[in-house]
A and B are shown apart, each in its own frame.
Chain A
C-alpha cells in the first residue's frame, strides 16, 4: 500500500512584509504550510505502523522541485510533482484537478492525507474536491488515524463534538494541526533527500483537461489599522487608560 501526502508550497508567512498595504512576495522563500507538515508526520507514523511506502504529491511553480527536499528529508520515500509556472495563478479547483491527476499515476494509493487548510489561503477545499474527482470517500478535520485490515479508524473533531468513524481504504483525510508534533530531519537525512526519487510531470503529461479559473481576485490589501500606540509604564497607567476609555464601572 502507498501512503500519499499532499503538501503545498507557500511563501514563508513570517517573512512577508507589507508595503503600501500590499504584501511584498518577491525574495520570500517558499516552504510548506505548517499543517501540511502535520499531514506529512501523520503519513510517516502510518508508514512506521503499517510498513507502506510514503509518496508526497505537490503542485507548484518550478521551485517545488527544490522545496520538496524538505519533505523527502523528513521521511517521504518518493515525490510526484507537477511543476509549472502557470500554477502560481491556479484556483483551488484547478489545483485539485492537477493533484487528482498526480494521484492517478500512483499504484495502490491506500490513504491520501491532506492538511485541513493550506498555509496561505486556508480555504480547505482541495482535499474534498480531489475526493470527489477520484470518487473516494473522505473525512475532514481528522485528529486521529489508525489503519488495520484495510480499514481506517478515524476521529473527526468538530467544534463541539468528536466523531468516531470507520472508512474502507482507499480514502482521503484532511488532518488538523494538533494531530501530532512534526519531527525535524537529521543532517544525514537532509543529505540523502536529494537522492530520493522525484517524478516531475508537466501539466500536459497528466492527461487532464484543466477548467478555467472560477475565482478572480479584485484586490488583496492589508487591512488599515489605526491604533493609538500609547506606551504604558506601570499598572497605574494601565488602570488610568481603562478608566479614560470608560471600561471601569466604578
Chain B
C-alpha cells in the first residue's frame, strides 16, 4: 500500500521541480506529498509558498557532506510521512544520496529520470541508457522507490495556497566524513538550459576562435556551451556549460555546433533542440546524423566568417 511521497533536494529550484513531478502523480493516484528541508529556512518557505507541507529540520551539527547521515535523516522523515516514494534531484548530491537511501530503505532506485507517466495504474519512468543511445521505460517492482529526477525535466512549481511547515526532530548517526573546507567554484551566471539559442564548441575549435563563438552567440541572443573535453581537459569553460549525459540536457530553439564529433554522450544533451546546424571538417562525423543543416567546413573559417557577417 502506497501512502505518500516525500521530496527532498539540497537545491531550492530542484525541490520545486520535484514538487511539480509529485503533483502529477498525486493527480493520478491521490498520494499525499510532503517535502523535507535541511537547515534551509528559505527553501522551507518557498516550498510552503508553493503549497507543499514541509518537514523542516534545523540542526547546526548536521553536514550535507556525509551522504550516510543525510540518508538516515531522509529515511526517518519518510517514515514520519509514511512515504514509499522518495523523489530526489539528480544533481551530484542527489545521486550520491539515492543509492545510500535506496539501500537503507530496501527500495528500487532509478536516477537521471527525465519523465514519468501512469500506464495501466503503474508508474512508468523514462531514463537514458547505453550512454544515451537509447531511452528506457522502466517500472519499480518493489513497494518502496527512490527516484532521482534530472534537473529541468519538470517546471518549478509556482505559488499556491501555503502549506504547513512542521519542525521535525531526527536522530542522526555520527559523521564519518570530516569537512575541512568548501570552495565555491566560479560557475558564472550562464544557464545554458534556459537559452533559446546555443552556440556549442567542441575539440575541433581552436582557442583563438572562442571570441568569435561568443560574438555569434551575442548577435543571435544566445549563449556559448561546449562538449565535455573542452571544459574538463582544456578548461576553456566552466563545467556548468557542458552539454550531454554528464553535463546538461538542453532544448534550445537553435543549436549551432562547431567541431563536435557527436558521440552519444554528447548528443543526448542536444537531440531535443528544435533546429540543429553542425559544422565539422569530417564529412562522416556522427554529428551530421543529428543535424537539420550540415556544413562540411573548417571551424577556423566559419567561426570568424559568421561572427563578422552577424555583427
Contact = CB atoms under 8 A, between A and B. Distances in A.
Interface of A: 11, 13, 16, 18, 23, 91-93, 96, 117, 119-129, 131-133, 137-141, 156-168, 171, 174, 177-178, 211-223, 225, 227-233, 235, 237-239, 241-242, 245, 247-249
B306 A158 contact: no
A125 B99 contact: yes
Nearest to B197: A247
Interface in B71-94: 71, 91-93
| Interface size range of chain B in the complex | 35 or more
B267 to A, nearest CB: 9
Contacts of B93: 158
B103 A220 contact: no
B309 interface: yes
Interface string B285-311: 000111111111000001001100110
Contact of B187 (A117, A126, A159, A232): A159
A219 B99 contact: no
Given A23-B130, A159-B240, A168 B68 contact: no
A128 B184 contact: no
Interface stretch (B33-41, B47-55, B132-140): B132-140
B104 A162 contact: no
A21 to B, nearest CB: 8
Contacts of B279: 238
Contacts, number: 235
Contact of A18 (B133, B291, B296): B133
Interface in B258-300: 264, 271, 275-277, 279, 288-296
A125 B145 CA distance: 13
A205 to B, nearest CB: 23
Given A157-B92, A232-B295, 18 more contacts: A122-B112, A122-B131, A123-B112, A124-B96, A137-B176, A139-B177, A141-B92, A158-B92, A161-B185, A162-B185, A166-B177, A166-B178, A214-B140, A215-B108, A218-B124, A219-B137, A228-B292, A231-B294
B239 A159 contact: yes
A133 B100 CA distance: 9
Contacts of A228: 292-293
B111 interface: yes
Contact of B67 (A23, A96, A140): A140
B302 A235 contact: yes
Contact of B271 (A93, A131, A140, A225): A225
Contact of B137 (A120, A159, A218, A229): A218
Contacts of B134: 18, 23, 220-223
Contact of B182 (A91, A162, A174): A162
Given A137-B177, A140-B96, A162-B182, A124 B136 contact: no
Given A119-B131, A163-B179, A165-B178, A232 B294 contact: yes
A220 B290 contact: no
B290 to A, nearest CB: 6
B159 interface: no
A93 B108 contact: yes
A26 B107 CA distance: 32
A156 B65 contact: yes
B110 interface: yes
B91 to A, nearest CB: 6
A250 to B, nearest CB: 9
Contacts of B92: 140-141, 157-159
A59 to B, nearest CB: 16
A161 B10 CA distance: 13
